[in-house]
Homo-oligomer: A and B are copies of this chain.
Amino acid sequence: MKEFSLIDTYFRDVSFQRKDVLLGIGDDCAITQIPTGQALATTTDTLVSGVHFLPDADPRAIAQKAIAVNLSDLAAMGAEPAWLSLSLSLPDVDEKWLEAFSEGFKELTEYYSIQLIGGDTVQGPLAITITAQGFVAADQALKRSGAKPGDFVYVTGSLGDAGLGLDILLNQAQVTNSEHSTYLLNRLHYPSPRVFAGTSLRRVASACIDISDGLLADIKHILHASQCGVCLQLDKLPLSPAMLESVERDTAFHYALSSGDDYELLFTVSEEQKSSVERVLASSNVPATCIGQINGAVGKVDLKFNDESYAYSKTGFEHFSHNEVSSQHNNTKRA
């Protein structure tokens, strides 16, 4: 039996079935059909046990997060998700774990009408690599490089929740309100990729990225790719009631600016498109907040609070950036 057999056993029938999949799991490759006029968007993300999730994390949540982080990348391009490939590295065959993992997989593939088209299972330390493929017309893809001075900066949803959720999980923060605590932990474990927001932003956003490493770290990618700077109004940052009622204001800003795993979209919009973007997002019930404006100070991030300068120096975690890393939770390490 090829290594596909495990994929076959646990995943063949749980996935949503699409008509554009001509050949799915069970051959040397999957064969799929791209709609006429569309380009292919491809992204790959790996989650490693002990780095991106706790070794004893719920396998259902691991599956859904592994899918969500990939769909978030597709969303950030304005692409419509279609197919997933799964590489699963497992220390041993734990049927209970595999069943829960595949159950989580099933739920999300059905929700997004996407199909698992193949993959590989190997023996090794627990790690999940997903490659997600989707469609977008070539001239409508939302790149990081289109922001221009004067453009307005938006984010979807609220920021920092997953970071506070992780600190709750690690006993580094206490949230006594159990409803808030549950909400924050769910934001960490079950991120909601902004797939619909992404496709809605085609033609109207000038640049887009998803926030996976923190607002500050990720906006710098737009600044770098677009050769511009930004002024952010911290008083405009969208913070959830759970965040606002659980921590001090400056701590909330810290989570919003520097903690990872939010998987919200960060995008820029020209003045001419501002009203139409707001109309589109409102009519589709996507919460989005204008938090600042692009300027010409290349690479610079200017933070303001009520129009006053706000001093802040901490950046999101960088993989490998310190040449020393602890064995766990590096994704949220802060300098």
Cα A254 to Cα B129 with chains together (Å): 34
Interface centre among A29, A48, A51, A93 (most CB of B within 10 A): A29
Within 8 A of B (CB), among A36-83: 39-48, 50-52, 73-74, 76-77, 79, 83
Contact of A29 among B79, B85, B318 (CB under 8 A): B79
Among A171-179, A206-214, A227-235, A297-305, the one that faces the other chain is A206-214
Among A20-28, A99-107, A148-156, A276-284, the one that faces the other chain is A20-28
Cα A305 to Cα B217 with chains together (Å): 66
**Given A3-B319, A73-B28, A92-B323, residue A46 in contact with residue B87 (CB < 8 A):** yes
Cα A225 to Cα B25 with chains together (Å): 12
Query: Interface residue tally of chain A, by bracket?
Result: 35 or more
A247 at the interface (CB under 8 A from B): no
Cα A162 to Cα B46 with chains together (Å): 30
Contact of A34 among B40, B44, B136 (CB under 8 A): B40
**Given A46-B89, A136-B31, A320-B93, residue A225 in contact with residue B26 (CB < 8 A):** yes
Cα A225 to Cα B208 with chains together (Å): 44
Chain B residues in 8 Å Cβ range of A79: 29
